[in-house]
Amino acid sequence: MTTMAKTSPKMDMQRRGQIQKIISRSVGYFILITVTILISIPIVGLVLGSFKVDSELIKYPIVILPKEWQLSNYMNVWLMTPFFKVMVRTFLLALATSTITSFISSMVGFGFARYTVPGSKQLFTIVIALLIVPGIITLIPQFLVYARLRLTGTYWPWVFGALAGSPYYIF
């Protein structure tokens, strides 16, 4: 007399659930890896292009790997431009504007979250409405204002923009 091990419907459901979980994770990882590869293609192209001579950059059809690897392009960046000076200025400007924007936006967001004053709902509605306005729309009017204030060519527009906060960060 042979006895066959019967599986219960509950065990079958568990196995199906595990298989579905494995399949969904595999599909998810496949999508993530594919998107990562697609996004990294331009970055890899830029890095490979930095080792090419000018004639290889504009050659058609596109040459992926340079025939002669040029390190002189990197030396020229340091020798022909004040690269370190510009890098330090950029770092300080990014640090200052991100710190100011984070501080101001978090204070405004805290105020909207914790305090109810007359008109706060209308102000918050305006902040939400500003989320749909693309930043490129306000670029020319901002430039005109800064030009009239004679602030173009300085870092003050960056600081004033940071002091204004950001609807995205406030929300």
Domain boundaries, the chain: 11-75, 82-170
* pLDDT tens digit sequence for 6-28: 667 777 888 888 899 999 999 99
* pLDDT tens digit sequence for 48-87: 999 998 888 888 888 888 888 988 888 888 899 898 999 9
What is the rounded distance in angstroms from the CA atom of residue 18 to the CA atom of residue 9? 14
Average pLDDT over residues 98-113: 92
**pLDDT over threshold 70, residue 3:** no
Average pLDDT over residues 116-124: 90
Within 8 A by CB and 6+ apart from 154, the residues are: none
What is the rounded distance in angstroms from the CA atom of residue 58 to the CA atom of residue 53? 9
Q: Which two tokens stand for residue 163?
A: 């002091």
The answer to whether the Cα torsion of 148, 108, 167, 95 is positive or negative is positive
- Cα separations (Å) of 45 from 50, 54, 96, 111? 9, 14, 32, 46
Write down the residue that tokens 């400007």 correspond to.
Answer: 93
CB 167 within 8 A of CB 128: yes
Average pLDDT over residues 149-166: 89
Q: What is the pLDDT of residue 5?
A: 55
Please, how many CA atoms are within 13 Å of residue 159, restricted to the half-sphere of its CB? 8
CB 98 within 8 A of CB 161: no
Q: What is the pLDDT of residue 40?
A: 97
Share of the chain above pLDDT 70, in %: 95
Q: What is the pLDDT of residue 11?
A: 72
